[in-house]
Amino acid sequence: MTTSLSTTSYALLGLLVFDGVSSQQGMTGYELKQRADLTLRFYWVSPAMSQIYTELDKLRRHGLIDAVDDTAGKRTTRRFVITAEGRTSLETWLHTSEHEFPILKHPIALRLLMGALMGPGEIEAMLDGYTSALAKRRSELESVREMLGDDPAVAYPAHVAEWGLAYYDAEVEIVDKLRKKL
Amino acid sequence: MTTSLSTTSYALLGLLVFDGVSSQQGMTGYELKQRADLTLRFYWVSPAMSQIYTELDKLRRHGLIDAVDDTAGKRTTRRFVITAEGRTSLETWLHTSEHEFPILKHPIALRLLMGALMGPGEIEAMLDGYTSALAKRRSELESVREMLGDDPAVAYPAHVAEWGLAYYDAEVEIVDKLRKKL
DNA sequence: TGTAGCATGTAAGCCGTTACATGATTGA
DNA sequence: TCAATCATGTAACGGCTTACATGCTACA
């Protein structure tokens, strides 16, 4: 059962291992997507809904999660629960896999590379736009950070959120300095 | 001819527009890959060789570049030159396309999110490894920055390189602070 | 003479997106 | 009753990687 999965698969498995929160056992695909929007989005990707379901199916076929039909509510939904095998698989991945270097896809920096083809006003406008997009992102992540509070159960997610906030702050500062040099 | 291309296509087109450097006119696929490794890699991606050739073929079919058989050397190679159409297409893209927010795929932060499943020593080791990978990356980019010098022709690439250096510095600082909090 | 670098491609396949399709439940 | 949200999928396709295949050239 060591057909290695993609990082995204393990990321979703990681959301399922800290399932906890809700009164129900396990999570629906829909809930998983919402959770991904609050966490994975900032440091990885938040897969499309369709991809979530595809991944869940793959994880289930690999025996890493169980699908449980939940008939408690008015409506039957499928809840997914990590299995013992899933837990060990995730831990093995954490312990043994390569720690790849982060990948940054930065359209703003890419465009600035071709700054000679843009007008100075256009560059200004682009950087302005980027700064406000950063501010928006930052406030979204700030809400997440506040939601986590100081509950020791989510100490690590809180650390990571703070990492993200510090990154956004650094980026704002870099852009400010850059603007002055232009 | 407004079948919109991928960002990567435009990025390569952007490398071809600043062709300049060599005595020859245009660039080979191989040279383009080398250039991408020096620039695009840090802010976007450096596509695989096979992808480079695929993109070049697509750009040629769209009339954005010309392929010229170069028989000057001992060996015939294909050199690619941007066309007038290619130039305007690139400029149109710069002027009109959406400025998407950067995408960060950060395996280290992702793993830290599941820090509760890792031992403290393991986390330390991971962050250590990341710090040295950062130092290596930084020195690679530093070489690029030095190569660019203060030639006004490459002022923008130089600005972007400095952006990258500042980013790596900020990341090191963030990781240092994080390590103290753990 | 052999190896590293230059040079150019094709094929298979993974990962992920958008578009499409469907339907239930909640609350204004 | 109507819209927003919850909930679950399939199909088509784009973008990119790895593996494979081929061959020349410079130089130690």
Q: Would you call B116 and A156 a contact, using CB atoms and an 8 Å cutoff?
A: yes
Cα dihedral sign for A148, B106, A80, A73? positive
Select the residue of A110, A122, A156 nearest B112 (Cβ to Cβ). A156
B51 Cβ within 7 A of any nucleic strand D atom: yes
pLDDT score at A48: 97
Q: Which residues of B touch A129 (CB under 8 A)?
A: 99
Cα distance between the two ends of chain A: 55
Q: Would you call B167 and A166 a contact, using CB atoms and an 8 Å cutoff?
A: no
User: Taking the model in full, what pTM does it have?
Assistant: 0.94
Please give the average per-residue pLDDT across B18-26, as a whole number: 73
- Please enumerate, as own/partner, the contacts of A132-140 that have beta carbons within 8 Å and a separation of 24 or more: A133/B99, A133/B101, A134/A168, A134/A171, A134/A172, A134/A175, A135/A172, A137/A42, A137/A168, A137/B101, A138/A165, A138/A168, A138/A169
Report the distance separating Cα B61 and Cα B11, nearest Å. Answer: 17
- pLDDT digits 0-9 by tens, A33-92: 999 999 999 999 999 999 999 999 999 999 999 999 887 777 789 999 999 999 999 999
Q: Find tokens 């383009």 and name the residue.
A: B32
- Chain A within 8 Å of B63 (Cβ-Cβ)? no
- Chain A within 8 Å of B114 (Cβ-Cβ)? yes
Q: Would you call A105 and B103 a contact, using CB atoms and an 8 Å cutoff?
A: yes
One-letter-per-residue 3-state SS of chain A: CCCCCCHHHHHHHHHHHCHHHCCCCCECHHHHHHHHHHCHHHHCCCCCHHHHHHHHHHHHHCCCEEEEEECCCCCCEEEEEECHHHHHHHHHHHHHCCCCCCEEECHHHHHHHCHHHCCHHHHHHHHHHHHHHHHHHHHHHHHHHHHHCCCHHHHHHHHHHHHHHHHHHHHHHHHHHHHHHC
Select the residue of B105, B117, B156 nearest A112 (Cβ to Cβ). B156
Nearest residue for C18, CA–C1': A48
Select the residue of A104, A112, A130 nearest B104 (Cβ to Cβ). A104
Nucleotide nearest to A67 (CA to C1'): D8
Q: Which residues of A touch B156 (CB under 8 A)?
A: 112-116
Q: Would you call A43 and B178 a contact, using CB atoms and an 8 Å cutoff?
A: no
B144 Cβ within 7 A of any nucleic strand D atom: no
Q: Which residues of A touch B130 (CB under 8 A)?
A: 99
**Is the pLDDT score of B1 beyond 50?**
no
- Please enumerate, as own/partner, the contacts of B80-87 that have beta carbons within 8 Å and a separation of 24 or more: B80/B16, B80/B26, B80/B27, B80/B28, B80/B29, B80/B32, B80/B56, B81/B16, B81/B19, B81/B25, B81/B26, B82/B13, B82/B16, B82/B17, B82/B19, B85/B1, B86/B13, B86/B16, B86/B17, B86/B59, B87/B17
Nucleotide nearest to A79 (CA to C1'): D7
CA A51 vs. chain centroid, Å, equals 14
What mean pLDDT value characterizes chain B?
93
Percent pLDDT > 90 in chain B is 86
pLDDT score at A165: 98
Please give the average per-residue pLDDT across A84-108, as a whole number: 95
| pLDDT tier at A4, thresholds 50, 70, 90 | confident
- Chain A within 8 Å of B139 (Cβ-Cβ)? no
